[in-house]
């Protein structure tokens, strides 16, 4: 689904009298890169129900010079024998190979995403695939298949348990569970070794938090809607990048100053991540060396500003939203 | 009640529910808040006691005030000591009175405190060569001045300082802005101009001779519209909380 064409981030920029130059530049890079990749991937032979989906900064519309072409080959339906294009074929075009033990090293079958939510079948990989698909992905080929799978996942979450003027708890719990999983996985990776601690920590404070907030806010704001308009609202939001969803929430809650500072901080981070020496320094940082790294110090400062703004939005800008957070964010 | 009336009634209730409850104290609802040790005159010289007193106000934010140059060495020693402070936000108020120290030495002293603080607040009217302060980077915060001062009071006057210190942040002293313009237009204009630099807020009422006194209810209401634009930063009380 394409976004409606209206950009809340642009609206916020105008209201606050400032620009978000790095975020807007990244959106342009993303659009240009997507067009090129569509042209190069479409000639590959596709199974009828296949879609090649780009993830990560592509899904957030935040491509920088350091962005990888993280992709998923998505199949609508149950696990089957032949899947086209193969992971190797797509990798050959994109020049990017998914990590061997990562969630996208093999094709992703939608039946598992939809039918296995919770319980033993919903392992870390399945949860990761489903939430990244929902929150941070964009189709390069097979847009119709992509849309069908997204609809089926939403149908699953918005089941008979959904109540009017209440956040849909099933979806809320899974979004929150994914955020907590990312945080716990960070600690688990550190336990295995100090490598890449700095870049992982920096991303947890920034882009991972934006991913979570961009998923959480629309779900909480479902408290404004009856059941049918709630579905329409979520469908509209899912077509926007996370920074647009967050900008809209700040604007709706009359907090453009706080929104400008929050997304201004994130804009700064995206700008830094576009610089290779900044990324390289972060990649070399460990917990022991963090205090002496200028790059990490910047990421830490930016992360604090970003979090402070999001927390103010959730708890103080609107008594309605604060009460919804109180009632739904913990239990 | 018919379906249409019920729908309209529910929309009306939603409208009421979405408006911020103005009767509820904006200060009481805000987090984080903290105390400035600058008002703890009786405890001056005893950082342990000042921190303990500030901790009783809030364990989340604090401003450690070294308002005279003579207090800087003891503050640095205190912060280097073997202790864990609970505060998630620590600002240090640099010297603003009786300035005598060579400015380069002063900046060097402040630079030693940078790793211990989220911000170092300075009064622009006490800073002579602004370029010397550039190494403090994002940690340096310039505070807007009150009506007793001759500079640093308005957006135009502060812009001169920020143009020399592009990385510096803004410490928004709300009562100082009120002393320039009781209608709070200067306060709004300061926020319009420096909203992206905002790092924390100073909050209190002012006495007739413009000293910080406990925040009154009347001033809390008057300051409400600008405070409403600062919900994402710590608010530091520059006077004890009112017990009235």
> How many residues make up chain A in this entry?
331
Ordered alpha helix ranges (H), A71-196: 87-94, 110-115, 124-135, 143-157, 169-192
Q: Which DSSP string corresponds to A189-247?
A: HHHH-STTHHHHHHHHHTHHHHHHHHHHHHHHHGGGS-HHHHHHHHHHHHTS-HHHHHH
Q: Does the pLDDT at position B8 exceed 70? A: no
Distance CA B5, CA A178 (A): 41
Q: Are A322 and B19 in contact (CB under 8 A)?
A: no
B42: DSSP letter: G
Cross-chain residue pair B230–A257, CB shorter than 8 Å:
yes
Helix (H, G, I), strand (E, B) or coil at B37: helix
Cross-chain residue pair A258–B24, CB shorter than 8 Å:
no
Model pLDDT for residues B109-151, shown as the tens digit of each residue: 999 999 999 999 999 999 999 999 999 999 999 999 999 999 9
**A chain contacts of residue B229, beta-carbon cutoff 8 Å:** 257-258
Helix (H, G, I), strand (E, B) or coil at A249: helix
Residues of chain A with a CB closer than 8 angstroms to some CB in chain B:
16-18, 165, 224, 255, 257-258, 260-262, 264, 291, 301, 304-305, 308-309, 311-313, 315-320, 323
Q: Are B215 and B244 in contact (CB under 8 A)?
A: no
For residue A143, give how far its alpha carbon lies from the nearest alpha carbon of chain B (Å): 37
The H-or-E segment that residue B153 falls in is none
E-assigned strands of chain B?
Answer: 33-36, 61-65, 89-93, 119-122, 140-143, 169-173, 198-203, 205-206, 212-213, 235-237
Q: Does the pLDDT at position B9 exceed 70? A: no
**Residue A84 corresponds to which tokens in the numbers above?**
């086209």
Helix (H, G, I), strand (E, B) or coil at A137: strand
Residue carrying the six token digits 């032949």: A82
Mean pLDDT of B45-49: 96
Tens of pLDDT along chain A (331 residues) come to 334 458 999 999 999 999 999 999 999 999 999 999 999 999 999 999 999 999 999 999 999 999 999 999 999 999 987 899 999 999 999 999 999 999 999 999 999 999 999 999 999 999 999 999 999 999 999 999 999 999 999 999 999 999 999 999 999 999 999 999 999 999 999 999 999 999 999 999 999 999 999 999 999 999 999 999 999 999 999 999 999 999 999 999 999 999 999 999 999 999 999 999 999 999 999 999 999 999 999 999 999 999 999 999 999 998 899 999 999 999 9
Which letter, b or e, does each residue of B19-50 get, where b requires 16 or more Cβ atoms within 10 Å of its Cβ? ebeeeeebbeebbbbbbbbbbbeebeeebeeb
Of B94, B82, B98, nearest to B120 (Cα)? Answer: B94
The H-or-E segment that residue A295 falls in is helix A294-315
Cβ atoms < 10 Å from Cβ of A48: 10
Q: Does the pLDDT at position B19 exceed 80? A: no
**pLDDT value at residue A82:** 85
Q: B89 to chain A: nearest residue by CA?
A: A304
Show Cβ contacts of residue B127 under 8 Å, excluding neighbours closer than 6 positions. B103, B133, B161
Q: Does the pLDDT at position B11 exceed 70? A: no
Which letter, b or e, does each residue of A233-256 get, where b requires 16 or more Cβ atoms within 10 Å of its Cβ? ebebbbebbbbbbbbbbbbbbbbb
**B chain contacts of residue A312, beta-carbon cutoff 8 Å:** 231-232
Distance CA B124, CA B105 (A): 17
**pLDDT value at residue B244:** 53
Q: Are B196 and A257 in contact (CB under 8 A)?
A: no
For residue A139, give how far its alpha carbon lies from the nearest alpha carbon of chain B (Å): 35
Q: Which residues pair with B93 in a beta bridge?
A: B65, B121
Show Cβ contacts of residue A130 under 8 Å, excluding neighbours closer than 6 positions. A113, A117, A153, A174
The H-or-E segment that residue B117 falls in is none
Of B58, B50, B51, nearest to B32 (Cα)? Answer: B58
Of B47, B128, B32, B129, nearest to B92 (Cα)? Answer: B47
**pLDDT value at residue B242:** 79
Residue carrying the six token digits 């003579």: B70
Q: Which residues pair with B121 in a beta bridge?
A: B93, B141
Mean pLDDT of B82-90: 92
Distance CA A131, CA B79 (A): 44
Minimum-distance CB partner of B232 among A165, A291, A308: A308
Q: Does the pLDDT at position B18 exceed 70? A: no
B31 in contact with A at a CB cutoff of 8 Å?
yes
Cross-chain residue pair B196–A261, CB shorter than 8 Å:
yes
Minimum-distance CB partner of A257 among B20, B31, B195: B195
B184: DSSP letter: S
Distance CA A64, CA A267 (A): 12
Interface A-B: count of C-beta contacts within 8 A: 54
**pLDDT value at residue B122:** 98
Q: Are B199 and B119 in contact (CB under 8 A)?
A: yes
Model pLDDT for residues A150-177, shown as the tens digit of each residue: 999 999 999 999 999 999 999 999 999 9
Q: Are A295 and A194 in contact (CB under 8 A)?
A: no
Distance CA B236, CA B92 (A): 11
Q: Which DSSP string corresponds to A4-60?
A: -S--HHHHHHHHHT---HHHHHHHHHHHHHHHHHHHHHTTS---TTEEEEEETTTTT
**Residue A45 corresponds to which tokens in the numbers above?**
């032979």
Cross-chain residue pair B20–A257, CB shorter than 8 Å:
no
Q: Are A298 and B12 in contact (CB under 8 A)?
A: no
Model pLDDT for residues B160-174, shown as the tens digit of each residue: 999 999 999 999 999
Distance CA B66, CA B57 (A): 19
**pLDDT value at residue B243:** 65
Distance CA A198, CA A300 (A): 10
Angle, alpha carbons B162-B165-B170 (nearest 5°): 55
Minimum-distance CB partner of B231 among A224, A255, A260: A255
Angle, alpha carbons B202-B170-B27 (nearest 5°): 30
**pLDDT value at residue A263:** 98
Q: Does the pLDDT at position B4 exceed 50? A: no
């Amino acid at each position: 689904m394409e976004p409606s064409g209206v950009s809340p981030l642009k609206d916020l920029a105008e209201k606050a009298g400032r620009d978000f130059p790095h975020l807007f530049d990244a959106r342009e890079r993303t659009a240009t890169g997507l067009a090129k990749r569509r042209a190069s991937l479409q000639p590959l032979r596709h199974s009828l129900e296949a879609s090649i989906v780009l993830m990560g900064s592509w899904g957030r519309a935040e491509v920088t010079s350091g962005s990888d072409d993280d992709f998923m080959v998505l199949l609508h339906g149950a696990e089957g024998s032949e899947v086209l294009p193969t992971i190797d074929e797509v990798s050959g075009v994109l020049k990017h190979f998914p990590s061997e033990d990562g969630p996208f090293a093999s094709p992703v079958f939608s039946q598992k995403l939809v039918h296995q939510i919770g319980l033993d079948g919903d392992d870390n990989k399945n949860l990761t695939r489903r939430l990244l698909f929902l929150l941070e992905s964009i189709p390069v080929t097979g847009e119709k298949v992509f849309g069908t799978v997204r609809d089926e996942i939403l149908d699953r979450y918005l089941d008979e348990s959904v109540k009017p003027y209440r956040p849909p708890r099933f979806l809320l719990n899974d979004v929150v569970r994914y955020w907590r999983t990312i945080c716990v996985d960070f600690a688990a990776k550190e336990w295995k070794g100090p490598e890449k601690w700095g870049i992982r920590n920096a991303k947890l404070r920034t882009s991972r938090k934006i991913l979570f907030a961009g998923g959480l806010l629309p779900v909480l704001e479902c408290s404004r809607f009856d059941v049918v308009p709630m579905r329409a609202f979520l469908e509209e939001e899912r077509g926007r990048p996370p920074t647009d969803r967050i900008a809209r929430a700040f604007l709706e809650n009359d907090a453009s100053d706080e929104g400008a500072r929050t997304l201004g901080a994130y804009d700064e981070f995206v700008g830094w991540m576009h610089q290779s020496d900044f990324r390289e320094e972060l990649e070399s940082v460990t917990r022991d060396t963090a205090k002496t790294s200028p790059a990490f110090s910047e990421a830490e400062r930016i992360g604090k500003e970003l979090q402070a703004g999001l927390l103010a939005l959730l708890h103080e800008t609107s008594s309605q939203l604060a009460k919804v957070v109180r009632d739904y964010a913990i239990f | 009640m018919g379906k249409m009336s019920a729908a309209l009634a529910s929309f009306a209730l939603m409208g009421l529910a979405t408006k911020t409850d103005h009767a509820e104290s904006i200060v009481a609802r805000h987090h984080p808040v903290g105390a400035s040790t600058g008002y703890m005159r009786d405890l001056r010289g005893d950082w342990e006691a000042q921190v303990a007193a500030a901790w009783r106000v809030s364990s989340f934010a604090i401003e450690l005030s070294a308002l005279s140059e003579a207090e800087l060495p003891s503050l640095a020693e205190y912060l280097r000591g073997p202790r864990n402070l609970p505060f998630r936000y620590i600002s240090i108020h640099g010297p603003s009175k009786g300035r005598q120290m060579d400015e380069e030495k002063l900046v060097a002293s402040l630079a030693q405190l940078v790793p211990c603080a989220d911000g170092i607040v300075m009064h622009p009217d006490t800073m002579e060569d602004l370029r010397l302060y550039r190494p403090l980077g994002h940690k340096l915060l310039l505070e807007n001045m009150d009506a007793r001062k001759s500079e640093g009071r308005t957006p135009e006057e502060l812009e001169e300082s920020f143009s020399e210190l592009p990385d510096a942040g803004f410490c928004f002293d709300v009562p100082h802005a009120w002393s320039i313009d009781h209608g709070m237009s200067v306060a709004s204009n300061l926020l319009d101009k420096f909203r992206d630099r905002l790092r924390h807020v100073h909050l209190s009422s002012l006495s007739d001779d413009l000293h910080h006194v406990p925040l009154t209810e009347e001033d809390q209401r008057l300051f409400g519209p600008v405070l409403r634009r600062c919900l994402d930063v710590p608010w530091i009380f520059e006077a004890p909380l009112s017990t009235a």
